């Protein structure tokens, strides 16, 4: 799905006008804990989060995320946006919550890119 399409479905506003929007979004992940993101997001996903600080951008870069949507009306500051712009990572903000955005995107056909975690690892 196109970045602009994902943002439109999420009722979001693009906050990084000059970054490259051509890369396809393959799936979605939502969460607020950065270790969870690193543990289970597959590459090339949109990250939907209620957390709003520069670590979100750094985590996203490590995890090969292709778009960040800050949910529930959180507005990222200049520092966050500048970091993302430097790295050519698009950022959007949406008034909707995580559940609502995830639901809309799933309904529009964007699959979950959250890997299942084993509740009882053997080793």
Contacting residues toward another protein, per CB under 8 A: 24, 32-36, 38-39, 43, 49, 51, 53-56, 58-59, 61-64, 79, 121
Instruction: Please say which residue, 18 or 22, places its beta carbon nearer to another protein.
Output: 22
Instruction: Please say which residue, 11 or 90, places its beta carbon nearer to another protein.
Output: 90
Minimum gap (Å) between residue 92 Cβ and another protein: 18
Q: Which two tokens stand for residue 88?
A: 């050519």
Instruction: Please say which residue, 11 or 23, places its beta carbon nearer to another protein.
Output: 23
Using an 8 Å Cβ cutoff, are 12 and 94 in contact?
yes
Pairing of strands 27-30, 91-93: unpaired
What are the backbone angles phi and psi of residue 19, rounded to the nearest 5°? -80, 160
Sign, CA torsion 63/33/114/73: negative
**What is the chain's alpha carbon radius of gyration, rounded to the nearest angstrom?**
14
Minimum gap (Å) between residue 66 Cβ and another protein: 12
Minimum gap (Å) between residue 106 Cβ and another protein: 21
Instruction: Please say which residue, 54 or 97, places its beta carbon nearer to another protein.
Output: 54
């Amino acid at each position: 799905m196109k970045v602009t399409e994902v943002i439109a479905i999420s009722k979001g506003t693009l906050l990084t006008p000059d970054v490259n929007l051509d890369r396809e979004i393959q799936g979605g992940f939502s969460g607020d804990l950065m270790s969870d993101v690193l543990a289970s997001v597959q590459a090339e996903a949109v990250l939907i989060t209620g957390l709003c600080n520069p670590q979100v951008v750094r985590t996203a870069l490590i995890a090969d995320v292709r778009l960040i949507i800050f949910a529930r009306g959180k507005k990222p500051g200049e520092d966050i946006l500048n970091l993302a712009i430097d790295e050519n990572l698009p950022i959007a903000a949406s008034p909707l919550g995580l559940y609502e955005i995830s639901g809309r995107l799933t309904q529009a056909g964007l699959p979950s890119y959250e890997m299942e975690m084993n509740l009882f690892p053997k080793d």
